[in-house]
Amino acid sequence: MEKDSDRIWCFVLPILVAIFVIRVLYVLYWTGKPIGSSKTHSLRTLIVLGSGGHTAEMLSIMNVLQNDKYTPRFYVAGATDNMSLKKARVLEESLMQQGENSGRKMIEAAQFMQIYRSREVGQSYITSVGTTLIAMAHALWLTLKIRPQVIICNGPGTCIPLCASAFLFKLLGLGWSHIFYVESIARVRKLSLSGLLLYKLLLADQFYVQWPQLQKKFPRAHYVGCLM
């Protein structure tokens, strides 16, 4: 019986590995392809906020985005970052008011959520292993709950578990999220750690930088000029 079981596994395991490799190649092939144009369907959009300048840059981007297309919107910030969500609420209230005044189609109300941080400032690397696992589990739950079609982020560490979860969902066929990463304007000569991970691991569908020097060093990135 044991020999029969070993033979079965020797036959099945290569097939499973081949299926997994084919699926990875399929996902990587379609990653970066443009979103199908649609004038009628909106896109569930997850926006990752970070403390300080990250939130200011992200809200500046959201202010000029085609808001009736990228809706409903879900803003996610670190568990200890209440200020970013307050600023996002102010922006959404302003957008809703603009929509009412102009007579445009009303957009769905935004939702505001928090996620556990992988590592707090000053936290030891040993204890951060546990918090990273908690953050990843929380990110998987949020991704399953939101099922975003678009993820927009610009550098805070909280974006890594969320983008990794979205990519895992792609591999498993549970959903497809287009990840748009905009590197912070403060990054002139080198990428942030979050940006470097998303670039090297091919997790981002579109990768944007705001300085030409960065685009020369990372040719898959798109130079868009200063967005602030």
The reported pLDDT for the residue numbered 206 is 95
Q: Which residues contact 7 (CB under 8 A, 6 or more apart)?
A: none
pTM of the entire predicted model: 0.87
The reported pLDDT for the residue numbered 121 is 64
Q: How far is CA 210 from CA 92, 139, 165, 183, 227, in A?
A: 25, 28, 26, 7, 7
Residues 143, 141: Cα–Cα separation, whole Å: 5
Domain ranges of the chain: 1-30, 36-223
Q: Are 140 and 114 in contact (CB under 8 A)?
A: no
The reported pLDDT for the residue numbered 114 is 94
The reported pLDDT for the residue numbered 18 is 86
Per-residue pLDDT of the chain in tens (228 residues, 90 and over written 9): 555 566 666 777 788 888 888 888 888 888 877 776 555 578 999 999 988 788 999 999 998 888 888 999 999 999 888 899 999 999 999 888 876 655 555 557 799 999 988 766 666 767 777 787 888 999 999 999 999 999 999 988 889 999 999 999 999 999 999 999 999 999 999 999 899 999 999 999 999 999 999 999 999 999 998 887
First to last CA, the chain: 68
The reported pLDDT for the residue numbered 107 is 59
Task: For domain 36-223, give the CATH number.
Answer: 3.40.50.2000
The reported pLDDT for the residue numbered 106 is 53
Q: Are 44 and 150 in contact (CB under 8 A)?
A: yes
Task: Name the residue type at position 119.
Answer: R
